[in-house]
């Protein structure tokens, strides 16, 4: 085995001489194009990458495996069983791919890119689909267990006769821990979400206060001051029963027991407050007062079926604006493609003339908008079009007060115009390329037959051009359907609709609406609803693409 490696590396010249005369015939007879990987030699090819490659491979695989093992340990600690399974499976498959030889060769080249693709593009889409059927949102973003713990600790008051616990702040990794010494001298450690656990190997100072623990780092005074906010926000449960209360500190030296006036009854699954009012699980991810509408916050995540989709199309706050947004998204995408293509094609025809001087200079200058980062263009145009101070109104229109970005229709016009400025260079480049590849003879033959230039263009050049450019036009439509940057940077989707209190406006596309619903300022971040809208976009794009590609295939067949 090593002998084989050696021969390849060191005795290259002789190897070449020995092999050369024999193999050409073999290569010529055995259909060279179809099987670059000949079955006769996979063993040799996979082994001859040399010692360096082998070491690199082992090192990388080793790193990956070590990382995987560590991840699994952490995830087991957090009881994340499904991710553990997936990690073990994926690591196993990757090892199997890279430790094998022969048939697994294509997989070796595909595995890295495909892993990223599966996790961050395919999985997230599937995950979006799942979120769309839940009530995932601010106040509903965790499990019921967490919600119970959170309700139990919210609105807590210090227990009147609570003893004082001496404490030290420790750190392991990023999280902070409280090491407390009870009045009876026992030391225990814990942090938010991790109830107190007694420890007997703590280091103690002369007063009997526990100050350190092996494996943890004690914070000194200045570090404690730096992280005061983080320390005072720690809530360390006294035990795993939320009704026992939790420890909190205000000064990072003494902690007291705090308890909520709401007590949780695990068997009945209800909360009872100090006045005896009972709150029970209402099936919608919240605890609700039995004979009333008051609910406790936070709630937790539950599956809600089609509720998000129903809400999007029936809620009076949402349905009307949503329809307008959908229509505008289609109009915007269509007009964007139409205007940029028309201008780009026109410019390509104008500048694609054999005797035109300075063609190259024109070409570089007119594609500059394409080279300028799109997010900056949006902001720059927002300045230029500013109704009060912008250059367009102040200088070009002599101080007019045209509300370019604040009137619904003018704002829509501005968005289309700015997108035309941004997008025509791409179409210009594409059309120039396509025009140059059209055969000259067709043109000449038509001219001999006496066709006018316009007629030649309309009946001959344009159809031929469309065949090659159609797929790009579809791609461009899909791109503009989701053209987030232009809208968000130029108008932020505004001017806002007056018939809803939500932050939705006349120039909002579906994608900017998704973003605002999920991450907008003010109001509830509704991840479930946003995902439902995302799914809607996915479906719309899929339908459009299928129809469009069918149509263009027809186009292609007609012309060929």
Partner 1 sequence: MKKRPFNLLRWFGDTGWRHLVGIALVVVAVFPLLYVLSASLNPGGSLVGSNALFSTIDAQNYVALFTNPDQPFALWFLNSMVIGLVTGVCTVFLGAMAAYAFSRMRFRGRRIGLLSLMLIQMFPQFLAVVAIFLLLSAISDVFPALGLGSQLGLILVYLGGALGVNTYLMYGFFNTVPVSIDEAAKLDGASHAQIFFSIILRLVAPILAVVGLLSFIGSTGEYVIASVVLTDPSSQTLAVGLYTFVSQQFSNNWSIFAAGAVLAALPVVALFLALQKYIVGGLTAGSVK
Task: Name the H helices within 200-285.
Answer: 221-226, 228-232
Q: How far apart are alpha carbons 549 and 541 in whole angstroms? A: 12
**Interface with partner 1, residue 36, by CB under 8 A:** yes
Q: Identify whether the C-beta of residue 512 lies closer than 8 Å to the C-beta of residue 484.
A: yes
Cβ neighbours, 10 Å, residue 94: 19
Q: How far apart are alpha carbons 437 and 459 in whole angstroms? A: 17
Q: To which H or E segment does residue 37 belong?
A: none
Minimum Å gap between C-beta 465 and partner 1 is: 9
- Name the residue nearer to partner 1 (CB basis): 246 or 481: 481
Binding positions for partner 1, 461-480, rule CB under 8 A = 468-469, 471-472, 475, 478-479
Classified as helix, coil or strand, 166 is strand
The region of 30-38, 225-233, 248-256, 273-281 touching partner 1 under the rule CB under 8 A is 30-38
Binding positions for partner 1, 329-368, rule CB under 8 A = 347, 350-351, 353, 355-358, 362, 364-368
Q: Identify whether the C-beta of residue 550 lies closer than 8 Å to the C-beta of residue 474.
A: no
Minimum Å gap between C-beta 157 and partner 1 is: 30
**Interface with partner 1, residue 381, by CB under 8 A:** yes
The region of 232-240, 276-284, 285-293, 433-441 touching partner 1 under the rule CB under 8 A is 433-441
Binding positions for partner 1, 523-542, rule CB under 8 A = 527, 530-531, 534, 537-538, 541-542
**Interface with partner 1, residue 369, by CB under 8 A:** yes
**Interface with partner 1, residue 402, by CB under 8 A:** no
Interface residue with partner 1 among 460, 545, 555, 556 (CB under 8 A) is 545
Interface residue with partner 1 among 6, 43, 50, 93 (CB under 8 A) is 50
Binding positions for partner 1, 132-191, rule CB under 8 A = 136, 173-174
**Interface with partner 1, residue 33, by CB under 8 A:** yes
Burial of 393 (0-12, 13-18, 19+ CB in 10 A): buried
Binding positions for partner 1, 103-132, rule CB under 8 A = 103, 105-106, 109-110, 112-114, 116-117, 119-125, 127-128, 131
**Interface with partner 1, residue 302, by CB under 8 A:** no
Interface residue with partner 1 among 81, 323, 391, 409 (CB under 8 A) is 391
Binding positions for partner 1, 183-242, rule CB under 8 A = none
Which pair of structure tokens corresponds to residue 72? 């699994």
Name residue, tokens 């990382």: 67
Q: Identify whether the C-beta of residue 84 lies closer than 8 Å to the C-beta of residue 92.
A: no
Count of residues touching partner 1 (by CB under 8 A): 123
Q: How far apart are alpha carbons 182 and 163 in whole angstroms? A: 8
Minimum Å gap between C-beta 198 and partner 1 is: 26
> Quick one: which of 116, 242, 257 has its CA closest to 178?
257
Q: How far apart are alpha carbons 351 and 361 in whole angstroms? A: 11
Q: How far apart are alpha carbons 266 and 428 in whole angstroms? A: 68
Q: How far apart are alpha carbons 287 and 282 in whole angstroms? A: 6
Minimum Å gap between C-beta 118 and partner 1 is: 8
- Name the residue nearer to partner 1 (CB basis): 168 or 308: 308
């Amino acid at each position: 085995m090593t002998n084989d490696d050696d021969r390849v590396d060191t005795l290259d010249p002789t190897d070449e001489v020995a092999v050369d005369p024999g193999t050409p015939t073999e290569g010529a007879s055995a259909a060279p194009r179809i099987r670059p990987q000949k079955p006769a030699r996979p063993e040799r090819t996979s082994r001859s990458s040399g010692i360096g490659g082998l070491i690199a491979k082992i090192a990388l695989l080793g790193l990956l495996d070590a990382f995987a093992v560590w991840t699994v340990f952490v995830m087991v600690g957090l009881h994340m069983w499904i991710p553990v399974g997936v990690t073990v499976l994926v690591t196993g498959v990757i090892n199997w791919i890279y430790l094998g030889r022969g048939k697994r060769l294509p997989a070796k080249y595909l595995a890295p890119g495909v892993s990223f693709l599966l996790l961050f593009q395919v999985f997230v889409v599937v995950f979006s689909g799942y979120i769309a059927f839940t009530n995932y949102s601010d106040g509903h973003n965790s499990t019921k267990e967490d919600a119970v713990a959170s309700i139990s600790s919210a609105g807590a008051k210090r227990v009147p006769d609570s003893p004082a616990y001496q404490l030290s702040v420790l750190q392991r990794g990023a999280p902070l821990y409280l090491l407390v010494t009870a009045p009876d001298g026992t030391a225990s450690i814990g942090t938010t979400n991790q109830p107190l656990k007694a420890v007997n190997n703590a280091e103690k100072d002369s007063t009997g206060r526990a100050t350190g623990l092996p494996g943890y780092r004690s914070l000194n005074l200045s570090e404690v001051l730096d992280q005061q906010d983080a320390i005072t926000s720690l809530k360390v449960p006294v035990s795993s029963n939320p009704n026992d209360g939790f420890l909190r500190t205000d000064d990072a030296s003494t902690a007291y027991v705090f308890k909520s006036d709401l007590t949780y009854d695990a068997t009945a699954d209800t909360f009872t407050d100090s006045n005896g009012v009972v709150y029970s699980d209402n099936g919608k991810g919240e605890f609700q007062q039995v004979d009333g509408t008051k609910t406790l916050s936070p709630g937790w995540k539950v599956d809600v079926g089609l509720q998000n989709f129903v809400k999007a199309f029936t809620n009076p706050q949402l349905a009307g604006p949503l329809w307008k947004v959908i229509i505008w998204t289609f109009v915007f995408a269509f007009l964007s493609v139409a205007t940029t293509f028309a201008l780009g094609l026109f410019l390509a025809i104008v500048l694609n003339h054999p005797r035109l001087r300075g063609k190259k200079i024109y070409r570089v200058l007119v594609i500059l908008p394409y080279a300028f980062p799109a997010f900056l263009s949006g902001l720059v145009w927002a300045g230029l079009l500013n109704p009060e101070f912008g250059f367009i109104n102040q200088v070009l229109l002599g101080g007019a007060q045209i509300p370019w970005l604040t009137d619904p229709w003018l704002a829509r016009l501005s968005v289309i115009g700015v997108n035309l400025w941004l997008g025509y260079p791409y179409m210009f480049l594409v059309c120039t390329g396509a025009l140059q590849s059209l055969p000259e003879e067709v043109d000449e033959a038509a001219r001999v037959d006496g066709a006018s230039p316009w007629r030649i263009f309309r009946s001959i050049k344009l159809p031929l051009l469309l065949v090659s450019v159609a797929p790009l036009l579809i791609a461009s439509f899909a791109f503009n359907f989701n053209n987030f940057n232009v809208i968000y940077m130029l108008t932020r989707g505004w001017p806002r609709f007056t018939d809803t209190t939500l932050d939705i406006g006349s120039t909002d596309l579906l994608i900017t609406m998704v973003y605002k619903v999920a991450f907008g300022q003010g109001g509830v971040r509704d991840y479930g609803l946003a995902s439902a809208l995302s799914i809607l976009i996915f479906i719309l794009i899929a339908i459009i693409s299928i129809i469009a590609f069918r149509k263009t295939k027809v186009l292609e067949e007609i012309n060929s």
